[in-house]
């Protein structure tokens, strides 16, 4: 399968740096894209309007992943407007830089925010859209869930201890859900290294250069490369489920 014409994809966190690249990549492959957002309605609406035309319309919908009732409403809207959902990309996430040794700064409120957004959120989105993802199609295609993870799940190095733990949980959950939802739905993780989004580009150049130097390929991941892995999961890796696909430049090798 090299085209996604007629397919519908929901991308939570679709207006963020990586999320935007994923929305654009899926749209170029032929998908009608639902750009899910929490507080970034303006950018999400603008992105949906800019995407190349598909067989079904693109749209932006509120998708706060910590609100299960809102996700159920999103699923209902997608059902009524498009009649199907073939791909769910769980890209919404949150974190804050806290030194790993500073246990007091990683307070309970931040821990709860990270875990509810990064772990419970993807599960809740799958739960809300499961019936659409698992619906049979005449072409025999299966539904697909792609969870955007992080190399921090493996290296245990990242913005804070709980962020690393949350991404390890996502990878584990990916495997559990792949088993639980088979054969109707495939579930994969795409696991980037540090991606060179606009947010990262705004940070200290010395720090960015140091992170790149620690990677065998000597640069950061481009958001478009993360998007390419998501599109590949839908178009080429059609017999793959329960796997974690790294897009990290070989960082664990360093």
DSSP the chain: ----TT-EEEEETTTSHHHHHHHHHHHHTT-EEEEEESS-HHHHHHHHHHSPP-SS--EEEE--TT-HHHHHHHHHHHHHHHS---EEEE---------TT-TTTS-HHHHHHHHIIIIIHHHHHHHHHHHHHT---TT-PPEEEEEE--THHHH--SS-HHHHHHHHHHHHHHHHHHHHHTTTEEEEEEEESSB--HHHHTS-HHHHHHHHHTSTTSSPBPHHHHHHHHHHHHHT-TT--S-EEEESTTGGG-
Instruction: Show the tokens assigned to 104.
Output: 């007091």
Mean of the per-residue pLDDT values for the chain?
A: 95
What per-residue confidence (pLDDT) applies to 154?
95
What per-residue confidence (pLDDT) applies to 212?
87
User: Any idea which residue has 């959120």 for tokens?
Assistant: 121
What per-residue confidence (pLDDT) applies to 141?
86
Domains in the chain with CATH codes: 8-192 (3.40.50.720), 196-226 (no CATH)
The pair phi, psi for residue 235, each rounded to 5°, is -105, -30
Cα separation of 67 and 20, whole Å? 22
User: Looking at residues 90-113, what average pLDDT do you find?
Assistant: 97
User: Any idea which residue has 């698992």 for tokens?
Assistant: 134
pTM for this predicted structure: 0.95
Q: With contact defined as beta carbons under 8 Å apart, do 155 and 252 qualify?
A: yes
What per-residue confidence (pLDDT) applies to 1?
59
Span of 91-100, 106-115, 202-211, 241-250 with lowest mean pLDDT: 202-211
Cα separation of 97 and 102, whole Å? 11
Compute the radius of gyration of the chain from its Cα atoms. Answer: 17
What confidence tens digit (pLDDT) does each residue in 116-148 have? 999 999 999 999 999 999 999 877 889 999 999
Q: Assess whether pLDDT exceeds 70 at residue 55.
A: yes
What confidence tens digit (pLDDT) does each residue in 159-172 have? 999 999 999 999 99
What confidence tens digit (pLDDT) does each residue in 201-247 have? 877 888 888 888 889 999 999 999 999 999 999 999 999 999 999 99
Span of 1-10, 99-108, 201-210, 233-242 with lowest mean pLDDT: 201-210
Q: With contact defined as beta carbons under 8 Å apart, do 189 and 171 qualify?
A: yes
Beta-carbon count within 10 A of 106 CB: 18
What per-residue confidence (pLDDT) applies to 223?
94
Q: 61 - beta bridge partners?
A: 36
User: Looking at residues 79-106, what average pLDDT do you find?
Assistant: 97
Q: In what order do the strands lie in the sheet with 143-148?
A: 59-62, 32-37, 8-12, 87-90, 143-148, 185-192, 244-247
Active site residues: 163
Percent of residues, the chain, with pLDDT higher than 70:
100
What per-residue confidence (pLDDT) applies to 137?
81
Cα separation of 252 and 227, whole Å? 21
Instruction: Show the tokens assigned to 80.
Output: 């009524």
């Amino acid at each position: 399968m090299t085209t996604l014409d007629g397919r519908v994809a929901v991308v939570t966190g679709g207006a963020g740096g990586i999320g935007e690249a994923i929305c654009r990549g899926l749209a170029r492959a032929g998908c009608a894209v639902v750009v899910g957002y929490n507080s970034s309605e303006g950018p999400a609406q603008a992105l949906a309007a800019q995407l190349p035309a598909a067989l079904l319309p693109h749209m932006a919908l509120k998708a706060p992943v910590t609100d299960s009732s809102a996700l159920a409403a999103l699923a209902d809207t997608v059902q009524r407007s498009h009649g199907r959902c073939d791909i769910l990309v769980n890209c919404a996430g949150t974190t804050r830089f806290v030194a790993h040794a500073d246990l007091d700064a990683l307070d309970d409120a931040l821990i709860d925010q990270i875990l509810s957004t990064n772990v419970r959120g993807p599960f809740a989105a799958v739960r809300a859209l499961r019936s659409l993802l698992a619906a049979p199609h005449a072409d025999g295609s299966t539904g697909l869930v792609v969870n955007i993870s992080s190399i921090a799940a493996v290296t245990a190095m990242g913005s804070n201890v709980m962020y690393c733990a949350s991404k390890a949980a996502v990878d584990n959950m990916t495997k559990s859900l792949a088993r639980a939802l088979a054969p109707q739905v495939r579930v994969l993780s795409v696991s980037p290294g540090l991606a060179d989004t606009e947010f990262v580009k705004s940070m200290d150049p010395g720090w960015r250069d140091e992170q790149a130097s620690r990677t065998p390929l000597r640069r950061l991941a481009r958001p478009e490369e993360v998007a390419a892995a998501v599109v590949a999961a839908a178009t080429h890796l059609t017999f793959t489920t329960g796997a974690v696909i790294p897009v990290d430049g070989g960082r664990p090798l360093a």
